[in-house]
């Protein structure tokens, strides 16, 4: 059995957990275009790759301070 491929998109709630921020902040990031996402029916989905990239940048910035 092959390992499960990482999902290309995750919910806003999952993105908030990965980033360590609140839901409102993730919605702000998506609506401002700072985080790639799309609305499917009534739910926003966010690019997993974009979330991981932003998380790495936040961690790097926190390591500098």
Q: In the prediction, which pLDDT does 5 show?
A: 52
| Cα separation, 7 vs 58, whole angstroms | 22
Q: What is the pTM of this model?
A: 0.79
pLDDT at 1: 47
Average pLDDT (12-35) is 95
What pLDDT score was predicted for residue 20? 93
Q: What is the pLDDT of residue 3?
A: 45
Please tell me the predicted confidence (pLDDT) of residue 2: 45
């Amino acid at each position: 059995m092959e390992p499960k491929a990482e999902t290309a998109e995750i919910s806003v709630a999952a993105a908030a957990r990965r980033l360590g921020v609140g839901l409102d902040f993730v919605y702000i990031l998506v609506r401002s275009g700072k985080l790639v996402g799309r609305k499917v029916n009534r739910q926003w989905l966010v690019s997993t790759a974009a979330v991981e990239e932003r998380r790495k940048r936040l961690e790097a910035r926190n390591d500098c301070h």
